[in-house]
Amino acid sequence: MRLAADAAHQFGGIELDRGKPLSFRLDGRTVSGFAGDTVLSALLAAGTDTAGSFANTPVGLGPRFAPLITTRGGVPLPMDRVPATDGADFTAIGRRRGLQVSRPRSLRHVLDDIADPPWLRAKPEETRTVDLLVVGGGVAGLAAADAAAAAGKTVLLAERRPWLGGDARFFGAVGDDESPELLTTRLARQLGERSNATILVRAEVFALSGEMALLHVVETLGPPNGRVIAVTAKRVLLATGAIQRLPIFPGNRQPTVVTAIDAYHLAKRYGVTRGSTALVATQSNYGYRLALRLHDAGVRIGRIVDTRIHPQSRFVDFAKASGLTLASGQFPLSATNTHFVFAPTSGAGASVGFDADQLIVSGGWQPDLALWMQAGGTVRWTAGRSALLAHGHLDRVALAGSAAGYRSLRGCAESGRAAAATIFGESAETIEDAEAGTHLETPDDPTPIAPAASDVPAFFDSGRSLAARPIPGARVSSAHRVHALTLADVAASVELGLIAPADAGVIAEERGAPGGYLQPSGWAPVAKAEVSDAPPPYLAHRFGDAPQRLHLVVDAKRQFTVGTLVYSNHGERDPEQALGVIVDAAPVGGIALVAEAGAGLDRFIVETADGPSPARIKRD
C-alpha cells in the first residue's frame, strides 16, 4: 500500500511525482503507479508481494529478490532498476505455476531452479577507460569519487540503485554533523559538476578482474534497455556498502516479513509499505528509529520487540514517549502469513503471538565484499563484529565506507576520501570513525537465531541463493545444496555452527568469487620432442642396472602390448618378481626390457590381459 503523499519524514516517497499517475501491465495484470516508481515499487504498492514458492513456501518479493522482466523483443532486466513506464507491457521471466488459487498477490514463480541474469554471460558493447572506477554511490563512494575528480583523475561512479546516497539516511544524523541528506546531496552535486567525472545509476558492476570491470546498466532514455559496459580502470575503489542480515527463524522470507533497510527505502523512496499495521523485531537501536518514523507516517506499530534486555537508547526513549509498546529480551520465533510468534531469549517463559500486516526485522550488517573477493581479496570471520571482514590488501583495489568496516557517517565519508588518495600513492587524512553518543547506548546484538524447526524453511539471507537452515534429521542439509553462497549465508552458517570460523573466509572466497561461465575450449596438449632413446625414468633400475632389450614373440601373429610384464618360465608371477616388461610395440610380439639375468633364458611368460602367454626370444 501507499503511505500518504504528505506522510511525515517524507515517507510519501521522495522519488515519486504523485501528479503523474501511470499504469503498465505485467504478466497480463494491470499495475498502477506514479512517475518515479520502479516496476518493483509499483508492484509492491499494488499488493503483489510474493515472488513465488520455494519448497512449497511462499517467498516475498523484494529489492534483493525479484524475477527479471522483459518487454516484447526486449532484453531481460531487473525490476528494481527498471522505471515504471506508462503503457508498458512486461513479462516476468522464469518458470511459473500455471494455476493461481490461493495467492493472488503472487507472481507464481517456481524458485527451486532460479537462473542467473543473462548479462553475466554477455559480451560488453562498449569499453570505457578511466583513472578510477568507484563502485557504489553511497557517502563513501561519492566522497571518494569527488576527491579523486577534484585531484584531476577521470572518474566513473557506478551505483546499482536508481538513486545515490546508499543507506546513510536509514541511520540519520549524528550530533552536529552534516545530515546524510545534505551530505549526499552536496557531494552528488559537486561530482555532477565535474567534467572529468561520470555518474551511472542503475548500473551494477558484476565482474572485476585485473584492470577490467564489467557493469550492467539499465538505460531509461526511451524504452528501458540493458547494456554491458567494460570499464578499464587504473584503480578501483569499492564502496559497496553492507547488507543487512536476515534473522533466522522459520518463515523469515514470508511475503509479510521485510528487513528494516528494505522497509525504510520502500517508504522513503516510494511511499510503499506492506500494510497498515506492523510489528518491529530488532536487535539494534535503529529499529526503533524506523518504527518511530513509520508510526509518524501513519503505520500502526503493534509493538517493538528487542532481543536485548532493557536496552538504553535515545530512540528507545523516543519510542516510549510516543506511546509505542516495547518488549525486550525476545526474538522472532516464527512467521506464518500475518501471525508472528516471539520467544524469550532467556529460554524461560512462554512464547507469544501477534497479528499484523507485516513484520519488520533487523539483523547485523555484513560488508558487501563480493567484488573484493572477485578481485582476489581475502576475507576473515571476525567474531567481535559477527561478520566477514576484508583481510590484507590489493595493489589496485581499495575499500571504503561500510564495505571496509566503517560504521559512522563521518568515518564512511573520510574513508572514501582517504582511499581515493592512498590508492594513487598519496597521503591521506586520518579517519575518525566514532559514533557520537553511542557510549551511552546499548550496542547491537548479533543477528537473532531461533531454534531449528522441521517444516518451514529458515533462510540465511534475503538474496538469490535461497540457502536455508538444515532441517533436523535430514540426511542432506539444504545448506549443502549446490548454489552460490552469499557472504551473509556464510556468516549465518558460522553462527549456526555449520561452518568452522577458521574456514569461513575460505568458503566465502570459494563461493563468493567462483569466476565467470566456462566456455567451450579446444585446448589440447602438444607432445614434447623426444630427447632420448633411454628408457623413461620410471623404468630406471627396475630390472637391474643393465637391462637388455629383447624381441619376444609367441607365434607369427600375436602382439604384446606395452606395459605387459614378463616373467621367467617357472617362477612366481608377482609384479615385484617380474624379469622385464614390454616397452615397445612390434609387428609380432613386442620389445621387452629384461633384467640382465633373464637375457640368458629362452622361455618366458608374458602376462597379457587375456592371461599368461608363453614367449621366446625372436632371433633373426
380 touches another protein (CB under 8 A): no
Please name the residues in contact with 354: beta carbons below 8 A apart, sequence gap of 6 or more: 279, 302, 303, 339, 340, 342
116 touches another protein (CB under 8 A): yes
Choose, by CB under 8 A, the member of 108, 161, 202, 511 that binds another protein.
Answer: 511
498 touches another protein (CB under 8 A): yes
Choose, by CB under 8 A, the member of 453, 484, 496, 586 that binds another protein.
Answer: 484
Choose, by CB under 8 A, the member of 482, 531, 546, 556 that binds another protein.
Answer: 482
Cα separation, 460 vs 269, whole angstroms? 26
Four-residue CA torsion sign, 12, 15, 19, 22: negative
Site for another protein in 274-293 (CB under 8 A): none
Shortest spacing between CB 518 and another protein, in angstroms: 4
Cα separation, 74 vs 226, whole angstroms? 9
Report residue 280: phi and psi, to 5°.
-120, 120
Choose, by CB under 8 A, the member of 4, 110, 434, 500 that binds another protein.
Answer: 500
Choose, by CB under 8 A, the member of 48, 358, 493, 568 that binds another protein.
Answer: 493
520 touches another protein (CB under 8 A): yes
Residue 176 burial by Cβ neighbours in a 10 Å radius (0-12, 13-18, 19+): exposed
Angle at 389 between CA 147 and CA 144, to 5 degrees: 5
491 touches another protein (CB under 8 A): no
Cα separation, 19 vs 303, whole angstroms? 35
Choose, by CB under 8 A, the member of 173, 453, 506, 601 that binds another protein.
Answer: 506
Shortest spacing between CB 612 and another protein, in angstroms: 12
Query: What angle separates helix 139-150 from helix 409-422, to the nearest 10 degrees?
Result: 40
Segment holding 416, helix H or strand E: helix 409-422
Cα dist. 529→152, 355, 533, 584 in Å?
55, 78, 11, 18
502 touches another protein (CB under 8 A): yes
540 touches another protein (CB under 8 A): yes
Nearer to another protein, 16 or 582 (CB): 582
Shortest spacing between CB 547 and another protein, in angstroms: 13
Shortest spacing between CB 502 and another protein, in angstroms: 4
Nearer to another protein, 530 or 620 (CB): 530
Choose, by CB under 8 A, the member of 221, 321, 350, 518 that binds another protein.
Answer: 518
537 touches another protein (CB under 8 A): yes
495 touches another protein (CB under 8 A): no
541 touches another protein (CB under 8 A): yes
- Among 195-203, 205-213, 428-436, 536-544, the segment contacting another protein (CB under 8 A): 536-544
Shortest spacing between CB 529 and another protein, in angstroms: 11
Pairing between β-strand 68-71 and β-strand 57-60 as defined by DSSP bridges: unpaired
Site for another protein in 559-618 (CB under 8 A): 561-565, 573-576, 578, 581, 583, 607, 609
In the chain, what is the straight-line distance between the N-terminal and C-terminal CA atoms, in Å? 99
Report residue 452: phi and psi, to 5°.
-65, 145
Segment holding 389, helix H or strand E: strand 387-391
Four-residue CA torsion sign, 205, 207, 213, 219: negative
| Footprint on this chain of another protein (rule: CB under 8 A) | 116, 121, 479-480, 482-485, 493, 498-500, 502-503, 506-507, 509-511, 513-525, 527-528, 530, 536-542, 561-565, 573-576, 578, 581, 583, 607, 609
